[in-house]
Structure 1
Amino acid sequence: MTNPKNTRTKLADLAKTIRSKNAGTDKITFDIIFREKATYEAVKRSGALNRDSVCATLNVDPARLTDFVEYDPGYAIKFTILRLRPSGSAGDADIFGAQQYAPFLDFEIDMTT
């Protein structure tokens, strides 16, 4: 999974699922789900995915991040942001919120911690 010379691994190589979708008309929710507990725990332990890194990755003001949850029973990290405008309104570029997860595909996790 990791190269001994480079302990940083792309989230897309670690997670089973990385997705985003509407959470009502005013929010988009993100799910990062792992296959096995060990990988999930290693990512959590790395501390790389946190409120600040999520906001930086999405380039959103921290006030727009409404939820950030490490959901142990589902080996998942979940977070939700407020939309700038309601889903489907004039100027909305992603009516379903399904295209917002892409920046997390290349997000790197240091797996040495």
Structure 2
Amino acid sequence: MSGKTVADLALEVRSKNAGPFWVTMELFMRDAAGYAVVADPGFLDEPVIARLYGVAADTIQIFRLPELNVVKISFPRPVVQGSLHDRDIHAGQHHVPLALLPLPDRGP
């Protein structure tokens, strides 16, 4: 691994509610080169997100938007928003594992 993380290539990595049952995360990359690294299905795919967040890979949706250098990821919340066991009601901290994901050695 290169020692760098997804956050090193991004302008912003954020997460938010997508209703009471879903979380959406967005990777706004600085440039096309950074986008090419994180948008590569060989680097960031459903099994990687499943491992990071403990959700089923077949429930994850990944949208790659090359014209904006953005990758958007949505998956079901582990618990319903506002329920007794919800520790992040706004899903504002869900992005941290993704931001800290190590880049492959071939990254810029």
Q: What TM-score do you get using the length of structure 2 for normalisation?
A: 0.85
> When you count strand as a share of all residues, which structure comes out higher?
1
Deviation at 1:105, TM superposition (A): 2.4
Partner of 2:17: 22
Partner of 2:96: 102
Gaps of 5+ in 1: 1-5
Deviation at 1:102, TM superposition (A): 0.9
* 2:29 maps to which of 10, 13, 34: 34
Partner of 1:89: 83
Q: Distance in 2 between matches of 1:42 and 1:18?
A: 15
Q: 1:74 to 1:91 in 2, by over 3 A?
A: same
Count of paired positions: 107
Partner of 1:10: 5
Q: Distance in 1 between matches of 2:78 and 2:45?
A: 21
Give the 4+ runs in structure 1 shifted more than 6 A. Answer: none
Show CA shifts across 1:32-81 (max 9, x none).
1101112212333472111111111112222432x111111210111111
* 1:60 maps to which of 55, 61, 76: 55
Q: Distance in 1 between matches of 2:39 and 2:2?
A: 15
CA root-mean-square deviation: 1.9
Q: Distance in 2 between matches of 1:63 and 1:86?
A: 19
Question: Between the two proteins, what is the percent identity of the paired residues?
Answer: 25
Q: Distance in 2 between matches of 1:19 and 1:52?
A: 20
Paired residue type of 2:104: D
